[in-house]
Amino acid sequence: MRYFPTFFQLSEKACLVVGAGETALRKVRLLRKAGAEITVVTDALDPREIASELLTLERDTGLRIERRKFRTEDVEHRALVVSATEIPERDALVADTAREAGRPVNVVDRPDLSDFITPAIVDRDPITIAISSAGTAPVLARRLRSQIEAMLPARLGALAEFADSFRAAVKANIQDGRGRLRFWERFFDGPEAASVLSGDETAAREQMLTLVNAASARQTPKGRVAIVGAGPGDPDLLTFKAMRALQHADVVVYDKLVGPEILDYARRDAERIYVGKTRGHHTRSQDEINAILVREARLGKHVVRLKGGDPFIFGRGGEEQDMLAQHGIDVEVVPGITAAAGCAAASGIPLTHREHAQAVTFVTGHAKDGEPDLDWAALAGLKQTLVIYMGVSTIGRTCERLIEQGLNPQTPAAVIENGTLPEQRTVTGSLADLAALVAANGIKGPGLFIVGDVVSAAGGAATVASQAVAGISTKTEPLRRVAV
């Protein structure tokens, strides 16, 4: 984030705009909407050099336009300063003067001279949405504004004003802060808000009075837990339902494989509790995690248990769901794109293929007590794809078991490290060489293994570089963005 987003309260505050052309006019319009008291300074003596709308505002509204050169004292007692002369030397002088005086300054189209920049704005007063590209692509910011404008109801501001008119009544009737939060979530999702947006505020007020006075509104809120799959790592693969759960969460209990870009979707005031696990080191035991979930839900909080991939595929989501149900806590499960689907697609490897694999099997390379107890003979069968999770440390023994049960040592195999992320690596070879490939390429995980003829059917769009590592021929592919 290059700029810290904030909103100035400029009502009846003195602001300075230097320049009087069309660029300056656009800034004056915005400042007037914010209620600022504006002084325009311009050395343009010819009225034709001053934007006609500024002259109209001067005549009809009393806008102050001072026709003279900019002076150092012009920046004194200003809430903010804008320079829009479009003359580099003059703009630089205004910027330096304002900065020396400690006044925030914006120089139009010169972010290098600016303390703040003016974003593209969606105005549904009192709701204001600002979109910034940090000065790098203003046209893109304007396009995003247009898209957001099309999505938002015209009466969104009226809805905010309506809610504000009931804030005191809600606070008086619902003492608990979390209870009020739940009330407002219910309101904005309910028929009362819909009535306001449709323009029927009379019906909305009748509905709202009933809602505020209802006994249920004063009850202690009931906690709940959502067990949410965050996908394989790429934040673009997060589902809409998972995003909504994060935005409603009071507490987020998250694992090691959940990156900061995904956590950013949570509310800023949500508590975040890290419970990540790595081989041989658990920040929290599973019993401790269970206790956290129960404790926070019993406090009436909305809890999101955020897991990499899908919570029901080697994510212990089933165990946590059973435990919460035993304690009488409402549980919702939000599926996520599992690592097998996400990583395979990002590497261009089809998990099934009419010519190569009519089945796909997911197995774990790590069990509670060490080596997993698997039906190795069945896994070594033909015409299937084998996907091995959490197997970096045990891949050597896994390959030996499969070869012992008759799987051809030359079966194509791949390991995908940091799947779907920008630093993804895909290393391909044969089953017999897979463990050596992991060691030779320094793969530490998180890694996913795919064994089967589908590896040889991977798409060829990625750049493929052959290399010799420890006498083994490998192919390493960088990340390719593929829709999942």
Exposure on the CB side of residue 339, measured as CA atoms within 13 A = 31
CB 257 within 8 A of CB 308: yes
- Give the span between the Cα atoms of 472 and 91, in whole angstroms: 62
CB 398 within 8 A of CB 382: no
- Give the span between the Cα atoms of 323 and 289, in whole angstroms: 11
CB 388 within 8 A of CB 451: yes
Using DSSP, state whether 211 is helix, strand or coil: helix
Q: How far is CA 76 from CA 22, 56, 85, 90, in A?
A: 25, 27, 19, 18
Helices and strands counted in the chain (H then E) = 17, 21
Backbone conformation region of residue 354, classed left if phi is above 0, alpha if psi is from -120 to 50, else beta: alpha
CB 311 within 8 A of CB 227: yes
Using DSSP, state whether 269 is helix, strand or coil: coil
Closest among 406, 412, 405, 424 to 456, alpha carbons compared:
412
Q: What are the catalytic residues?
A: 255, 277
Exposure on the CB side of residue 13, measured as CA atoms within 13 A = 16
Q: How far is CA 203 from CA 158, 163, 167, 187, 200, in A?
A: 14, 14, 18, 14, 6
Element (H, E) at 401: helix 395-404
Positive or negative, the Cα torsion across 356, 360, 365, 369? negative
Beta bridge partners of 40: 17, 65
**C-alpha gyration radius of the chain:** 30
- Give the span between the Cα atoms of 209 and 260, in whole angstroms: 41
346: its two tokens: 């990002």
Using DSSP, state whether 273 is helix, strand or coil: strand
Question: Residue 326 CA to chain centroid, in angstroms?
Answer: 33
